[in-house]
Amino acid sequence: MFTHFKSYSIKIKDKLYPIDRPHVMGILNTTNDSFFDGGKYHTIDEALHRVDTMLKEGADMIDVGGQSSRPGAEMIGLEEEIQRTVPFIEAIHKRFPDNIISIDTFQSEVARKSVWAGASIINDISAGEDDDKMLKTVAELQVPYIAMHKQGKPVNMQLNPQYVDVSGEIYDYLKQKTELYQSMGISDVILDPGFGFGKTVEHNYKLMKDLSVFHRLNCPILVGVSRKSMICKLLRVDPKDALNGSTVLHTVALLQGAHILRVHDVKEAVEAVKICGQLSL
């Protein structure tokens, strides 16, 4: 078994779904301005083709997002985000009914309509802070909830992020959040430390070094570092040339017990999971 790895089960469509091995979550951005693949999948046919490819490469779940959260991104309106996500989720769910779909949104109405359309997980970069109706919505829908830490908002989060102890502060933040979620009846929580969201390069690598600490919170851990600036700035490459760096960090995360890798490149992430798994036999 993977070092530090602890098995969990989450409820997906009224059935217990085991996370007893590392999972790979494929990213499907239906935006025009995402930092790596913006504009590639803005039609349903293009999106379905991409999902088919990711599933064949071994993706365990697909994360659909209609609003870019890259540093400096401006927010779009509610109706536009719904149009960018809900029809895509409906089409994916119809074509691949056994696939697990996650909706990447901080807006409760987008989350609600996406779950009605076939999504099984809500992935919220704001951990419930950017929409005061989100946590009540999650509790009502009774779906797993991915809660991420960020400092600031995408439009300003990278201007001057400050921490005294980045890992300790994020740990305390997520601990308080899990206690809040439990009190509200949200039982299936997945935690994301939020690499790249209001953190410097140094903050991100300290957080990766300390990743195993977050297992004390007794929740599955999601890691999203794929092609991010923590790789690009260190290696002085563009996102298109950051696949190798992404795989290295995915390997580090796996060796520290990460449960879900959120990735642009499914095939390479699945290979990293297989190799790390073989090392632990």
How is domain 22-224 classified at the CATH fold level?
Answer: TIM Barrel (3.20.20)
pLDDT score, position 61: 98
| Per annotation, catalytic residue among 199, 227, 228, 274 | 228
Which ranges in 58-191 belong to alpha helices (H)? 78-95, 108-117, 134-141, 166-183
The pTM is what? 0.93
Q: Which helix (H) or strand (E) holds 261?
A: strand 260-263
Residue 260 is given by DSSP the state E
Q: 150 vs 119, 130, 193, 198, CA distance in Å?
A: 24, 11, 8, 6
Q: Give ∠ CA 133-138-141 in degrees, rounded to 5.
A: 120
Q: Which residues contact 186 (CB under 8 A, 6 or more apart)?
A: 135, 138, 139, 145
Output the 3-class SS for 193-249: CCCCCCCCHHHHHHHHHCHHHHHHHCCCEEECCCCCHHHHHHHCCCHHHCHHHHHHH
Known catalytic residue: 262? yes
| Per annotation, catalytic residue among 236, 262, 267, 274 | 262
Each residue's pLDDT expressed in tens, for the chain with a length of 281 residues: 566 789 999 999 889 999 999 999 999 998 765 544 445 667 899 999 999 999 999 999 999 998 876 665 567 789 999 999 999 999 999 999 999 999 999 999 999 999 999 999 999 999 999 999 999 999 999 999 999 999 866 666 566 788 999 999 999 999 999 999 999 999 999 999 999 999 999 999 999 999 999 999 999 999 999 999 999 999 999 999 999 999 999 999 999 999 999 999 999 999 999 999 998 76
pLDDT score, position 62: 98
- Domain residue ranges of the chain, discontinuous segments joined by +: 22-224
Rounded distance between C-alpha atoms, residue 133 and residue 142, angstroms: 14
